[in-house]
Chains A and B, each alone.
Chain A
Amino acid sequence: MSFGEIAYPAARFAGRATGVLPRFRLDRLQPLLPYLLPVLVVIVWQAAASFGLIATRLMPAPVDVVRAFWDRTVSGELAADVEASTIRAVSGLIVGGSIGFALGLINGLSKISYGLTDTTLQMVRTVPHLALIPLVILWFGIGEPAKLFLTAFGVFFPIYLNTLHGVRTVDPQLIEMGRIYGMNRWTLFRRVIFPGALPSIFVGLRFALGIMWLTLIVAETMAASTGIGQMANNAREFMQTDVVVLALVIYALLGKLADVIARLLERATLQWHPAYQRAGKE
């Protein structure tokens, strides 16, 4: 987006200097430009591996990673691992996210609840949630409840904080308007406060998604019998670097996928927001 804004005048300048063709080609290639560098890196990486410049024992060639992907997809192992990880991630998000969302709303709307709980929550927030791992293992063992607890705990804070912030910063003039126009408390919440807080809630959600994957990776590497973290850990024991890198790629793709879904949700619900309106509809 920002690249397009910068590049456009340059392209126009080029078109004026050397005729119509260069401008046309530059505009056509522009969407591909961001992918140029990653593709180049993969090519160089593959070449370096093929010519023996990199020890494949430490860093596999891209082709090996693709082959590992293919083997595990065909055998069905990959799907099972991705499924296990996704279920863990989503359940952690649902549990931690809904508690954070609910508390954020309540504390945003009620001074009593805010006074009672916010300071405590802010104190707990300063503890890095991964530092709780030893305690969590003592409490829950190394099974699924421990992973759920850690993920939910990590996801809770960004959603809580941003929901709270969103509710508290809704334009008071709009709330006054709603009261004058006879909205009751529920209508006021549904039509003024919640939509006003939504952009901030989405910011929280996207932060939470990042934390969700991070926590899951650590939790799955800790101990698990299924999941991508477990797949990477097993592969390490057998020196299967290709599978280790595959696990990294899968994590990256899942993270990206979650972000894309959040963006689509944002686009669908924030159509009114000038930042989400398509340009050129003027």
Chain B
Amino acid sequence: MPLANDAPRAGTFSSGAAIDTLKDAAQGLGHAGGVALHLHGLEKSFGPTRVLRGIDLDIAPGEFVAIVGKSGCGKSTLLRLLAGLDQPDAGEIRFADAGGGPVQPNKRIVFQEPRLLPWAKVVDNVAVGLGEGRRARAAAEGALEAVQLADKADQWPARLSGGQRQRVALARALVSRPDFLALDEPLGALDALTRITMQALVERIWREQGFTAVFVTHDVAEAVALADRVVVLDAGRIVLDLPIELERPRGRASAEAGRYEQRLLDAILG
């Protein structure tokens, strides 16, 4: 049975057969695989404000989880904890391999702002995490190709459009083959049409590389379009954990997607 090797994630994530077939195909192309993520009783306060009040969440290897919620609901804080930028006040974050053993994941984060070094050429920005040298440059050029910006390698970032800059930031995160990628509203500052192409790009690369992705967004439609599962945060708690059982590639504005969006919006707006 071809799906047998997907057994560890069957408990948390039931997907259509079509997705798994696609994923198996991707695995043949140097699929890196993701890590599992277990959060238990996560709490974080800033001064008197309790931003996260006990988050429990299990994410399967290679799963794409979107976190949505009103601004100030704690979603970016949660992401910063996952990425290791901040430390939780209580609770634990455990990364595990497919067999359940603890691992030290190769984590990367993509921010809302591209955060490119303005004084480094595009290709050097992509290679930032690799060090310098010819091999780093070759890898960076490969990653730029994946985001369709190979021809911009020797440009200054100031010459690029907002969407192109964010694609460079994505290439920079992907070039080191992460097994966990945190995305903090990476498309939030882009115009609607650029967003749609970027969403398709993010999805394609995720399917090719198979990393575990946590994607914070305030856009419910974006979450439904991309994620295996959407988690709704409100006032520092998970109020809804909704698997999106739509086949990929997902069409835009289908009636089914609309129903998911409605459920999520109801949960967010309470």
Contacts and interface: CB of A to CB of B under 8 A. Distances in A.
B85 A180 contact: yes
Contacts of B85: 176, 180
Contact of B113 (A173, A180, A198, A274): A173
Interface in A161-204: 173-174, 176-178, 180-183, 191-192, 195-196, 198
Nearest to B107: A180
Nearest to B173: A181
B115 A272 contact: no
A180 B109 contact: yes
B129 interface: yes
A30 interface: no
A271 interface: yes
A273 interface: yes
B119 interface: yes
Contact of A277 (B83, B115, B156): B156
A191 B117 contact: yes
A106 B119 CA distance: 22
B189 interface: no
Contacts of A195: 117, 119-120
Interface residues of B, number: 18
Contacts of B109: 180
B100 interface: no
A270 B83 CA distance: 33
B10 interface: no
B228 to A, nearest CB: 25
Contacts of A174: 115, 117
B119 A177 contact: no
B81 to A, nearest CB: 14
B113 A272 contact: no
Interface string B117-147: 1111000000011000000000000000000
A78 B83 CA distance: 66
A177 B158 contact: no
Contacts of A274: 158
Interface in B84-99: 85
Contacts of B159: 277
The winner among B113, B119, B158, B172 for most chain A CB atoms within 10 A is B119
Nearest to A174: B115
Nearest to A177: B115
B118 A273 contact: yes
A272 B83 contact: no
B13 interface: no
A177 B156 contact: no
B25 to A, nearest CB: 31
A181 B119 contact: no
B113 A192 contact: no
Nearest to A182: B129
Interface string B172-213: 100000000000000000000000000000000000000000
A133 to B, nearest CB: 41
A174 B115 CA distance: 6
Contact of A177 (B111, B118, B157): B111
A178 B85 CA distance: 12
A277 B158 CA distance: 10
Contacts of B120: 191, 195, 272
A116 B85 CA distance: 30
The winner among A177, A196, A274 for most chain B CB atoms within 10 A is A177
A274 B157 CA distance: 10
The winner among A181, A191, A196, A198 for most chain B CB atoms within 10 A is A181
A196 B118 CA distance: 9
B156 A271 contact: yes
Interface in A110-127: none
B262 to A, nearest CB: 36
Contact of A180 (B83, B119, B157, B158): B83
Contacts of B158: 272-274, 277
Given A176-B85, A271-B156, A272-B156, A181 B117 contact: no
B140 to A, nearest CB: 12
Nearest to B114: A177
B119 A272 contact: yes
Contacts of A277: 156, 158-159
Interface of A: 173-174, 176-178, 180-183, 191-192, 195-196, 198, 270-274, 277
28 contacts: A173-B111, A173-B115, A174-B115, A176-B115, A177-B111, A177-B128, A178-B128, A180-B85, A180-B108, A181-B128, A181-B129, A182-B129, A191-B120, A191-B128, A195-B119, A195-B120, A196-B119, A270-B119, A271-B156, A272-B118, A272-B119, A272-B158, A273-B118, A273-B158, A274-B158, A277-B156, A277-B158, A277-B159
Given A177-B111, A183-B128, A270-B119, 5 more contacts: A176-B115, A195-B117, A195-B119, A196-B119, A271-B156
